[in-house]
């Protein structure tokens, strides 16, 4: 099925099920309960999970397979967003042409930057990509203001020409992105007792794109091309000594990775038709590096897990304040309650970066393979426990 091995096929099905049933999985607590703060099922956050999952999957094709660490991948995310918004302004509000243009433009930019940056490797390559990204950020923020909107960002307006669509709705509002009549912001709620589950058109569109992107990544990982990229990571110098030119392979990986980033940028603009220079900053590039390493660089599902983990912290833990903490520990004596709140408060709210940093250090120290390695260790431990349980008195059969 899908021309995949059984393990990869199972992984794709699991990712598909988790993605499609995310409105249920991310809303585990009833509305109004003390733990409802940890629900993450609202459309904006679910969209961020899958969009940044696509971004991280693409980055992993470059970093996870070749070992080339780019500190400027957010440039392609921003370029994709700008291209999509310009398509909305000039052509129509249909998301398909906007996303196609985002991928194409990001691919062209990544081809140019990769052709120059890949003349160097190691830290020199990383610094080159960072320099290009910061140059593009500076251009978008100031010099190219007529094209990018500068500090305020590129936005839709009522006087946009929009060749194949209306410039404004009958009510006089700016149209919203859609897909053949379905608006990306359309949602419906399913109420089951005290639970409220929201199903959003934009999320499911992004989810389908992410599943397709994940499938393509599997095919790349298992292809001869992916094997060649692994060889580059293993020992590029030895490959060069054999007379094999590795630059076309690394450049192809860089371009594919940049196109993934452009796709993510186009989806971001499709959900919220606004593009700003902040999406091209070095901090955004560093974020996708954290996502990939935290989930497990070089693994298939690791970057998706890392993206979901970081976005969950950013949007959920950052909203927990001292009032919520006092509600949680109200059953304790006043002095003990205040003490626990004082201990925990620096790690939540505005201090969520501190918690994420500690977790990241723990993963790097104890789980170099990321969250995926943690899952593999747990599975091995459970299998060992099961085998010991099935063997009487923990003994083994003697060899004949």
Domain residue extents for the chain: 6-281
Cα 25 to Cα 45, 344, 357, 379: the distances in Å are 13, 27, 26, 22
Maximum separation of any 2 CA atoms in the chain, in Å: 86
Report whether 306 contacts 291 (CB < 8 A). yes
State phi, psi for 335 to the nearest 5 degrees: -65, -45
First to last CA, the chain: 42
DSSP assignment string, 42-55? SHHHHHHHHHHHHH
Residue tagged 């409105």 (tokens): 23
Going by DSSP bridges, is the β-strand pair 154-155/178-179 parallel, antiparallel, or unpaired? unpaired
The pLDDT of residue 399 is 45
pTM reported for the whole predicted model: 0.91
Q: pLDDT for 116-144, tens place per residue?
A: 999 998 899 999 999 999 999 999 988 88
The pLDDT of residue 400 is 40
Q: pLDDT for 223-265, tens place per residue?
A: 999 999 999 998 888 888 888 889 999 999 999 999 999 999 9
Cα 309 to Cα 83, 209, 250, 364: the distances in Å are 28, 20, 29, 15
- In the chain, which stretches have pLDDT less than 50? 397-400
Report whether 85 contacts 270 (CB < 8 A). no
The pLDDT of residue 334 is 82
Taking each helix axis from N to C end, the angle separating 247-271 and 95-117, rounded to the nearest 10 degrees, works out to: 150
Taking each helix axis from N to C end, the angle separating 43-66 and 302-315, rounded to the nearest 10 degrees, works out to: 140
The pLDDT of residue 115 is 95
């Amino acid at each position: 099925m899908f021309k995949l091995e059984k393990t990869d096929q199972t992984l794709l099905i699991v990712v598909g099920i988790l993605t499609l049933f995310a409105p249920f999985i991310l809303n585990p607590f009833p509305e109004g309960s003390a733990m409802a703060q940890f629900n993450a099922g609202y459309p904006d956050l679910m969209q961020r999970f899958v969009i940044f999952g696509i971004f991280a999957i693409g980055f992993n094709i470059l970093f996870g397979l070749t070992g080339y660490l780019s500190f400027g991948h957010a440039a392609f995310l921003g370029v994709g967003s700008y291209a999509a918004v310009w398509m909305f302004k000039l052509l129509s509000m249909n998301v398909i042409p906007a996303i196609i243009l985002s991928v194409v433009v990001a691919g062209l930019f990544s081809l140019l930057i990769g052709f120059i940056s890949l003349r160097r490797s190691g830290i020199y390559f990383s610094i080159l990509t960072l320099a290009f990204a910061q140059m593009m950020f500076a251009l978008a923020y100031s010099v190219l203001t007529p094209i990018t909107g500068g500090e305020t960002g590129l936005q839709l307006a009522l006087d946009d020409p929009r060749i194949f669509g209306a410039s404004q709705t009958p009510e006089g509002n700016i149209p919203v992105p859609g897909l053949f009549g379905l608006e990306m912001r359309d949602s419906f709620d399913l109420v089951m007792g005290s639970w409220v589950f929201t199903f959003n058109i934009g999320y499911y569109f992004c989810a389908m794109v992410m599943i397709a992107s994940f499938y393509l990544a599997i095919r790349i990982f298992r292809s001869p091309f992916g094997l060649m990229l692994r060889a580059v990571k293993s020992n590029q110098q030895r490959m060069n000594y054999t007379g094999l030119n590795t630059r076309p392979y690394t450049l192809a990986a860089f371009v594919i990775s940049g196109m993934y980033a452009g796709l993510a940028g186009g989806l971001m603009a499709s959900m919220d038709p606004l593009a700003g220079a902040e999406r091209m900053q070095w901090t955004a590039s560093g974020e996708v590096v954290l996502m990939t390493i935290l989930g497990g660089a070089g693994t298939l599902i690791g970057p998706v897990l890392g993206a979901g983990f970081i976005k969950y912290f950013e949007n959920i833990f950052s909203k927990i304040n001292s009032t919520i903490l006092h509600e949680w520990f109200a059953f304790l004596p006043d002095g003990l309650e205040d003490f626990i709140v004082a201990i925990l408060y620096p790690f939540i709210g505005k201090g969520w970066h501190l918690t994420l940093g500690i977790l990241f250090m723990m993963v790097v120290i104890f789980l170099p393979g990321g969250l995926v390695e943690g899952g593999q260790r747990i599975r091995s431990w459970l299998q060992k426990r099961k085998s010991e349980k099935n063997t009487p008195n923990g003994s083994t059969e003697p060899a004949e």
